[in-house]
Each structure stands twice: as structure tokens, then as C-alpha cells.
A and B are shown apart, each in its own frame.
Chain A
Amino acid sequence: MSYIDRDEIGKRIVWAICVIVMIIGIIAPIYLLIKYSISDPSTMNTGGRPIPLWPNRPTFDIFLYLFRDREFWGVVSNSAIIATLTVLLTSLLSIPAGYVLARYNFPLKRFFLILLISVRLFPDISSVIPIATFFVRANLHSSFISVVLAHTLLSLPYVIFMATTAFEFVPKDIEEQARVIGANRVTIFTRILVPMVFPSLIAGAIYTFLLSWDEFIFAHFLLDTGGQIQTLTLYLNKNLSFSPPQNVLAAISVCLSVPVMVFTFVVQRYMVSGVVSGAVK
């Protein structure tokens, strides 16, 4: 075996060791989360002996308990309602805005783009104080609408950028051709442009849903102080303060993560580049 071959093999071994260590570092905590969620009490309370790496008697009892609990379904439906309303409001505002930014040059365009960035410059924990104070004054504190508006504020800048980029990829010729054959602006927008950028809009919608689904800071400040409405993140935080068995915390965490994992996979499917390439014949 030549010196170069040995050198190359050595590099491959070092690379493989580093990758394996990284993969273990990434997968192990996730595995432990799932393991804890299906652990029976004997697996968690070991009296000083090492906690087994696999549950002694794997059980879905905690999940069954959660799924039978009316409060749990209440917080899940609250999270789902808030996230869905946030998606609707964000889409309603961002899609027309993205179209205008992609198609037209106007005097205040630069100002609007700076506004988009400026809104997100404030840390959430800083901007939540004035927003919470405003909603208290407006008698909207502890309401769905306050959280939906706050979550829309968080997602809107990103989704406008996503929509703008998507509309920029649609050739202007398509609109011209539709106009020539008599389509009006609304028809062109709803029947031609929106379907063409649909994958990006879906990606934006999913991004918004996930942002709202696992958002904590605004929900905590706007709903947590004596309000009746709770989201899944607030429910998890409330359980943390009660110090319940670890498998309960892990099971709630898994429930919170599953939609995120599923939707992340779906977004990857929709993120197909060049979706409208070759549209103009």
C-alpha cells in the first residue's frame, strides 16, 4: 500500500469518527426524549443504579392519559386555532405585498423593505412589553386575537420575503399573455400567479404555522397571566413548574414536536426550485 493510500485512508477514518461522534451527539438526546416518553416508573426511579438506555417495560400509558385528558385537547386545539388564524392573516397580508414588491418599483419601496427588517430588529422579549401593555389597554389581553396579531407580526416579514422571491421567479410574459387574451388583474393573480407560486406559499404557510405552534414568549406574556386560554407551550411550561414525572414532560414535548417534524418534512417536498422554469413557450 502506497503512502498516499494510507494518508487517504487515515483521512477517511478521521472523517468517519468525527461524523459518527456528531451523529451520536445529535441523535442521542432525541432518542432519550422518546425513551423517557415511553418509560415506566421503574426505568426512571432506579435508586442510584444507572438509568437503563432502553425502558424496562415500554408503555404508551402517558400518551393515552394525555389523549384522554380534556385539558390537553383544549390546549392543543387552542394552539391549532391560533396557528391557523395566524396563517390566514399572514397569507392575506403577505401574498399581495409580495406580488407588489416583486413587480413594481415605487418611491417608498426601499422604506418598506427597511421597515420589514426593522420590525424584526427588536428582540421578542423587548417588543413583547409594549405589545402586551397595548393589548391590556385595548382589553384584548388573554384573547386569541392578541396572540394571532403578535404571531402575525413575527412571521409577516419573513413570509413577505418568501412571497416576493417566489413572484420574482414568475416570468412577466405570462401576465402579458393572459392580459392579451382578456384576463383582468384579479383573474391573472388568482388563477395564474398564485397557482404558479403555490409551493412557496405553502412553505410560507407551514413556516408560519410552526412559528405560531411552538412560540412561547408572546403566548406567555399575552395569555399566561390569569387568562383562561392556554397553548401547548404554556401547558408544557406549567407542567415544568409542577415538577411532574419525567415521562409526562417528555410525552408533552413529543406531542409538541411531532407536527414540527412532519411539517418540516413536507416543506422540504414543496421547496422545489425552478418550479416555473420553462413556463413560457
Chain B
Amino acid sequence: MGEIWPLFPAAIFLSFFFLLVLIELFTISLTKTNVFPTLEPAVEILKNGEFHNALLNTLAFVAIGTPLELFAGLFAALLVYNSYWGKSFVRTIFVIPFAFPGLVIATLLFILFDSQGGFANHLFQGQYWLFPKIIDHDVAWRGSKYLALSVSMLGKVWRDMPISMLIILSGLNSIEPELIDAAKTMGAGFRVRLQRIILPLIFPAMTTVLLLRSVEMWKEFIFPYILAGNYPLLGTLIEKLYGFGSDPGEAAVVALVLVGLTILTLVVIVEITGRIKRVLVNSGVNSK
């Protein structure tokens, strides 16, 4: 015991805050105007239409944003992996978005997607060389639920794509080059190599991306807070209830729902990817 005492300060610090978060979150969620315990905050929040909207918005945000981040990361990783020149240069450029704070990117999108005279409106009205005309008049990007949340998701995917890319790239780099060479020798084209060799071998890396990114999507706050203030996700609803609503009990209930849904998503992804992996392994065995 005498040898591990240097660990104690960190252990005490982390244990204190872990227990504080756990106990206080449950306590606050069971408190209403100094009455404890009561289920009133939970009952109130379940009847709250804004909560239902936020839940649906967040579900859509996770369901669309997570695969989008996976595919963006996969696409970027394949481009780096199959580089014909300047591999490290391309990788460095692709990592740049992650070097910018989320708040800065959200602010940039706030500027670009301004409803009056924003750059995006000019771009999509075909006012620049090479870019096709998509809209006829200025669009209030932050004034519509779908557009505001889409712009938020765009920012989130753009900013976090490098993490997905680096995880998948590490999976790609672990593939034995001999396997690819052997497939090429036997006449397998890029699509066959991708389907039969690359994707099955990077499946664990893709699973990691799905797990990590789905958690990040659930807990996303900054982009919807800046760009979709009128259309809350669970994260922004917590802030609204705790701040303007001054109802910590209801905010804590939503926070607990968010924790629960995050854990549930992790369990579901692990289960689904486990099944896919078993199918892949079995199909490989059967094809022999």
C-alpha cells in the first residue's frame, strides 16, 4: 500500500466527483421546490411537449449523423490509404478541422448561413462560378427546424470527421499488404477488395467509430445551441430548463434520460455489430 500512495490524490478527486455527479443527479431529479423525494419532475417532463420534440430531434440527429460521420471518415481514410502521392500531406489537411474549437466552427456557420446576405444563400443561388443554382431566394437557415438542425449536423460531421478517419485509417494500416497484393494478383478489382477484404478487416475500427460517434451525437450541445436555438435537442433542452426555466429537477430528469439513452445505444450497437460480425465470420467459413 505504501508504494501506491501517489495514486490517492487522483483517486480521491475522481471518486468524489463521480459520486457527486451520480448522487446529486438522482437527488435533483427527485426534488421539486425543496420537496424530496418526489416523482413530479419526471411526470412533468413526460407531459412536456418540448421534451417529446427534443427527444425526436435528438434521435434523428443521432440516427442520421452517426452513419454520416462513419461514411465521411471511411471515405477520407480510403483516400489517404490509397494515396498516389503526398500521403502525409493529404492526411494532415484532412485532420485540420479537428484543430478548430467546436464553438468557432458553429460561429463560422452562424455567419455563413445568415438569413440575410449570408455566403451560403449567395452560393446556393448560383452566384459563383461553377456552383449550380439550387435556390431562388434567400433562405432563413436558422428559422426552420430541418434546416437549422441540418446545418448543425453538417458542422458536427465536418469538425469531427478527422477522428473517424484516424480510427479507420489505423484499421486500414493494420491490414497485411500481402493480402491486398494476393487479391490483386488473383484479379480482384477495387470493389471486390473493398467488399471482401478491406471492409471485413476494418469492421472493428468501424464499430469503434459507431460507438464513439453515437455517444458524441447524443451529447452534442454546441452546434445546436448556436445554430438551432429554437429547436432543442436533449442537450440544449437541459440548458434551457436549468437556466431560463429555472427547473433543475426537470433538467436533471432530461440529463438522466440522456445518460440512459447513450448507454442503451452503446448496448444496441455492440449487439448489432456483434451479429454482423458473426454473419461475416460464418459466411467466410461457409464459402471455404
One of A48, A123, A233 near B219 (C-beta < 8 A) = A123
One of A48, A50, A130, A253 near B20 (C-beta < 8 A) = A130
Q: Is the CB of B104 within 8 A of A96?
A: no
Q: Is the CB of B122 within 8 A of A257?
A: no
One of A125, A134, A256 near B101 (C-beta < 8 A) = A256
Q: Does B7 contact A (CB under 8 A)?
A: yes
Q: Does B99 contact A (CB under 8 A)?
A: yes
Q: Does A217 contact B (CB under 8 A)?
A: yes
Q: Is the CB of B238 within 8 A of A253?
A: no
One of A22, A96, A157 near B7 (C-beta < 8 A) = A96
Q: Does A40 contact B (CB under 8 A)?
A: no
Q: Does A279 contact B (CB under 8 A)?
A: no
Given contacts A221-B242, A249-B107, contact A96 B10 (CB under 8 A): yes
Q: Is the CB of A51 within 8 A of B119?
A: yes
Q: Does A119 contact B (CB under 8 A)?
A: yes
Count class of interface residues, chain B: 35 or more
Q: Is the CB of B111 within 8 A of A249?
A: yes
Chain A residues numbered 13-27 whose CB sits less than 8 Å from any CB in chain B: 15-16, 18-19, 22-23, 25-27
A46 to B125, CA, bound (A): 15
Q: Does B35 contact A (CB under 8 A)?
A: no
Shortest C-beta distance, A167 to chain B (Å), equals 11
Q: Does B40 contact A (CB under 8 A)?
A: no
Closest to A96 in B: B6
Q: Does A242 contact B (CB under 8 A)?
A: no
Q: Is the CB of B82 within 8 A of A257?
A: no
Chain B residues numbered 168-213 whose CB sits less than 8 Å from any CB in chain A: 190
Closest to A93 in B: B10
One of A99, A115, A116, A261 near B6 (C-beta < 8 A) = A99
Which of B20, B107, B242 has the most C-beta atoms of chain A within 10 angstroms of its own C-beta?
B107
Given contacts A19-B90, A236-B107, A240-B226, contact A104 B21 (CB under 8 A): no
Closest to A97 in B: B10
Q: Is the CB of B114 within 8 A of A246?
A: yes
A6 to B218, CA, bound (A): 46
Q: What's the count of A-B pairs with C-beta under 8 Å?
A: 203
One of B6, B9, B108, B242 near A29 (C-beta < 8 A) = B108
Q: Is the CB of B103 within 8 A of A256?
A: yes
One of B25, B112, B127, B235 near A32 (C-beta < 8 A) = B112
A250 to B226, CA, bound (A): 14
Q: Does A181 contact B (CB under 8 A)?
A: no
Chain A residues numbered 185-241 whose CB sits less than 8 Å from any CB in chain B: 213-214, 216-217, 220-221, 225, 233, 236-237, 240
Closest to B155 in A: A29
One of B15, B97, B255 near A126 (C-beta < 8 A) = B255
Secondary structure at the A interface, as helix, strand, loop or mixed, is helix
Q: Does A73 contact B (CB under 8 A)?
A: no
Q: Is the CB of B104 within 8 A of A33?
A: yes
A91 to B75, CA, bound (A): 37
Q: Chain A contacts of B158 at CB under 8 A?
A: 25-26, 29
Q: Is the CB of B243 within 8 A of A115?
A: no
Q: Is the CB of B100 within 8 A of A129?
A: no
Contact with B along A42-67 (1 / 0, CB 8 A): 00111010110100000000000000
Question: Other CB < 8 Å A-B pairs besides A101-B7, A130-B25, A253-B108, 16 of them?
Answer: A12-B84, A26-B97, A44-B117, A99-B6, A106-B4, A123-B259, A123-B262, A125-B219, A125-B235, A125-B238, A130-B24, A216-B221, A221-B239, A240-B107, A252-B107, A256-B101
7 A–B contact pairs at CB < 8 A? A11-B190, A96-B6, A124-B221, A126-B238, A129-B25, A213-B101, A236-B103
Residues of B whose CB lies within 8 Å of any CB of A are 1, 3-4, 6-7, 9-11, 13-15, 17-18, 20-21, 23-25, 28, 75-76, 79, 82-84, 90, 93-94, 96-97, 99-105, 107-108, 110-112, 114, 117, 119, 122, 127-128, 158, 190, 215, 218-219, 221-222, 226, 235, 238-239, 242-243, 248, 251-252, 255-256, 258-259, 262-263
